[in-house]
């Protein structure tokens, strides 16, 4: 990317959020509603609410559970998706069950998971996040592996690639654009489930803190939790884009070559 384009890209990326913040600020400035406080009150409450203690005991554990569940789903989804996508028989056997399971909304499973794994502790929350995140990764991996050009597999066989080399350099590399698409969708699902899983029997965590603020009628503090969730979502999305940009550079180059750019 040309350095001279950075100001224009920054303006495009930050323009709409800046406009929305300005609108929120002025539209809520004279608000007397208890549940819709002025944005200035929320901004003032933010540093008083999210001090070192809640960040250490609420935010970081929530992020750690999100990371554990998301990485579990990533490994399981890519492994199962590669196996299913590589075998027509396995795909035919599993497709009805996959369609049934992915149709079940993940939040519905949280109380069921908690019955078996317990309402407190990390296990139920990590399982809930992993079960919600695994479907977009798995299904996109199946589609990515299934749609690989057979010429690539034939070329690998011609060059006498071993199974491990074929899997790594042909199958996973060739399907990585779709795997990345599924992983990006799963990240937003993981953030949602991170919050929802903490609404059931948890006394610490970002979701639990927001609920406690709401139950205690600490409305500006509740809004600061929602704003913090949004900021975390933007940060995680930015980190994902950085990783994706680095590992899919070959794909962007291929698309540009196909378009004659």
Q: Residue 127 sits in a domain of what CATH number?
A: 1.10.3720.10
Token readout for 56 is 């250490």
Residue 261's pLDDT band (cuts 50, 70, 90): low
Mean pLDDT of 63-90: 94
Asked if the structure places residue 46 within a domain, the reply is no
Find how far residue 80's CA is from the centre of its chain. Answer: 19
Dump pLDDT digits (tens) for 5-52. Answer: 767 777 777 888 889 999 999 998 888 888 889 999 999 999 999 999
The answer to whether residue 240 is domain-embedded is: yes
CA angle 172, 173, 175 (to 5 degrees): 65
Q: Is residue 5 part of a domain?
A: no
Spatial separation of the C-alpha atoms in residues 128 and 105, rounded to whole Å: 11
Residue range 200-226: mean pLDDT, rounded: 88
**Residue 77 or 251, more confident:** 77
Q: Is residue 187 included in any domain, yes or no?
A: yes
Within a domain: residue 110? yes
Residue 185, domain extent: 54-259
User: Which has more pLDDT, 161 or 83?
Assistant: 83
- What percent of the chain clears pLDDT 90, i.e. is strictly above it? 46
Return the pLDDT at 114. 78
49 is a domain residue = no
Longest dimension (CA), the chain: 74
Question: Are 97 and 138 within 8 A, CB to CB?
Answer: no
Query: How many Cα atoms are found within 13 Å in the side-chain-facing hemisphere of 253?
Result: 5
CA distances from 98 to 101, 134, 186, 227 (A): 5, 11, 16, 35
Using the predicted structure, report yes or no on whether residue 1 has a pLDDT greater than 60: no
Domain assignment present for 64: yes
Instruction: Indicate the number of domains in the chain.
Output: 1
Does residue 200 surpass a pLDDT of 80?
A: no
Residue 24 lies in a domain: no
Determine the pLDDT at residue 99. Answer: 82
**pLDDT for the residue 83:** 94
pLDDT at 208 over 60: yes
For 81-117, what is each residue's pLDDT tens digit?
999 998 889 988 988 888 888 788 877 887 788 777 7
Q: Give the pLDDT score at 138.
A: 94
Taking only Cα atoms into account, the Rg of the chain, rounded to an integer number of angstroms, comes to: 22
Q: Tokens for 17?
A: 């959020």
Nearest to 41 by CA among 227, 256, 208, 184: 227
In what helix (H) or strand (E) does residue 158 lie, and over which residues does it extend? Answer: helix 150-158
pLDDT at residue 219 is higher than 70? yes
């Amino acid at each position: 990317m040309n350095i001279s384009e950075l100001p224009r890209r920054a303006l495009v990326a930050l323009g709409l959020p800046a406009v929305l913040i300005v609108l929120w600020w002025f539209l809520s400035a004279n608000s007397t509603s208890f549940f819709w406080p002025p944005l200035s009150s929320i901004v003032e409450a933010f540093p008083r609410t999210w001090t070192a203690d809640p960040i250490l005991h609420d935010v970081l554990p929530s992020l750690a559970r999100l990371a554990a569940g998301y990485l579990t789903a990533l490994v399981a989804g890519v492994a199962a998706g590669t196996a299913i996508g590589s075998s027509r028989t396995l795909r035919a056997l599993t497709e009805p069950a996959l369609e049934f399971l992915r149709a079940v909304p993940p939040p519905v499973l949280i109380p069921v998971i908690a019955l078996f794994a317990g309402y407190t502790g990390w296990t139920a929350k990590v399982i809930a996040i992993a079960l919600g995140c695994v479907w977009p990764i798995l299904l996109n991996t199946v589609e990515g592996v299934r749609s690989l050009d057979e010429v690539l597999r034939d070329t690998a066989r011609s060059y006498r690639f071993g199974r491990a080399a074929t899997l790594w350099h042909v199958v996973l590399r060739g399907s990585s654009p779709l795997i990345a698409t599924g992983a990006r969708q799963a990240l937003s699902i993981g953030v949602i489930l991170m919050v929802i899983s903490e609404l059931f029997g948890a006394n610490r965590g970002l979701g639990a803190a927001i609920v406690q603020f709401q139950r205690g009628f600490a409305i500006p503090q509740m809004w600061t939790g929602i704003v913090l969730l949004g900021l975390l979502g933007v940060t995680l999305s930015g980190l994902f884009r950085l990783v994706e940009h680095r590992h899919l550079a070959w794909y962007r180059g291929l698309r540009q070559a196909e378009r004659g750019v």
